[in-house]
Amino acid sequence: MAIYESIKPEKESTIKQFLDNPPEPEMSIDYEVNKKDFVNSGKASSDIKLLLKKLGVSTEVLRRVAVASYEAEINITAHSQGGKIVCNLFSDLVQLFFIDIGNGIKDLEKALEPGFSTADDLVREMGFGAGLGLPNIKKNSDYMKIVSEYNDHTELELLIFF
């Protein structure tokens, strides 16, 4: 099993405090994500964005949440056997989990390199496979953690502050 963690330095102490002692979320929503379902994939991230917009979250944060969650949702559809998204809302941040079963990531460090992709022909036909999803998710999140076991599962956790 491989683990990768990335923390925005300016938020490090707040993030560690949150992770060490996670409070109860004010709201929690689950979404199912199906494999190779490019017709519906993206709906959960769009729903999350709309919800945050209604709550008055700034345009800049909405953009970051939209980009990170869309890329992660598509990754479940494109690279796994299916999974779910859990969106936990707090007063000052959103915590997102992208949990799937199936393929897992063989080389996590490599998967994070811009341009690296194992996307199959179908995924490429749908316009994905540039190998920019994970780098984009990292760039747009305050905290990112990936836990993956090859041939088994992948779990991605993101924190984005409002």
Ligand X SMILES: Nc1ncnc2c1ncn2[C@@H]1O[C@H](COP(=O)(O)OP(=O)(O)OP(=O)(O)O)[C@@H](O)[C@H]1O
79 lies in the binding site for ligand X (CB under 6 A): yes
Q: Which amino acid is at 71?
A: E
Q: Pick between residue 64 and residue 79 the one whose CB is nearest to ligand X.
A: 79
76 lies in the binding site for ligand X (CB under 6 A): yes
Please calculate the CA angle 64-67-69 and round it to the nearest 5 degrees: 100
116 lies in the binding site for ligand X (CB under 6 A): yes
Q: CA-CA distance, 159 to 142, in Å (whole number)? A: 6
Buried-exposed string 99-120: b where 16+ CB fall within 10 A, e elsewhere: bbeebbbeebeebbeeeebebe
Q: Pick between residue 41 and residue 80 the one whose CB is nearest to ligand X.
A: 80
Measured between alpha carbons, how far is residue 119 from residues 36, 75, 78, 140 in Å?
11, 10, 7, 22
154 lies in the binding site for ligand X (CB under 6 A): yes
Site string for ligand X, 7-36 (x = CB under 6 A): ------------------------------
Q: Pick between residue 33 and residue 57 the one whose CB is nearest to ligand X.
A: 33
Q: CA-CA distance, 85 to 74, in Å (whole number)? A: 11
Site residues, Mg ion (CB under 5 A) = 75, 133
- In the complex, minimum distance from the CB of residue 24 to Mg ion, in angstroms, rounded to a whole number: 32
105 lies in the binding site for ligand X (CB under 6 A): yes
Q: Which residues, other chains included, contact 91 with Cβ-Cβ below 8 Å and sequence gap of 6+?
A: 26
Site string for ligand X, 118-147 (x = CB under 6 A): xx--------xxxxxxx-------------
Binding residues for ligand X, rule: CB under 6 A, are 71, 75-76, 78-80, 100, 103-105, 111, 116-119, 128-134, 154
